[in-house]
Amino acid sequence: MHESIKVVIGIHRGYLMAKSIGMPPLFGKEHYYYYSEKGSYSLVWFPDMFGNGMTWEICELDKEHEPINTDKIERFKSKEDAEKRIEKLLKVET
């Protein structure tokens, strides 16, 4: 990841909620947040619900860490592919 991008790893709130009521989680435990001067994105893992192998999802976030536009969610087959896209979106050239 480019040096202009900061990464914070948290626990996905959907994962915690499912665990608290004894249901299997629909999300991966880790929730990755990527920040730069250009904005912020989240990255989460989902089961392959659509049968297309796309299990990693990125979404642009607002200042309150909420999705800006869920119609623009992008899905990827690997975490590495998703992180390459995030880097392209957030990289600040010096």
Kindly report, residue by residue over 56-91, the tens digit of the pLDDT.
999 999 988 888 888 889 999 999 999 999 999 999
Q: What is the pLDDT of residue 56?
A: 92
Q: Is pLDDT of 8 > 90?
A: yes
Q: Which two tokens stand for residue 79?
A: 């975490």
Exposed (0-12), middle (13-18) or buried (19+): which is 32, by Cβ within 10 Å?
buried
Rounded CA separation 46/14 (Å): 11
Q: Give the structural domain span for 39.
A: 6-90
Number of domains in the chain: 1
Whether 49 is in a domain gets the answer yes
Q: Residue 47: inside a domain, yes or no?
A: yes
Say what the pTM is.
0.83
Residue 21 lies in a domain: yes
Does any domain span residue 71?
A: yes
15-69 residue pLDDT tens: 899 989 998 888 788 899 999 999 999 999 887 777 777 789 999 999 888 888 8
1 within a domain of the structure (yes/no): no
Cβ atoms within 10 Å of 46's Cβ, excluding its own: 17
In a domain, 33, yes or no: yes
At residue 69, the pLDDT reads 83
Decide if 83 is inside a domain: yes
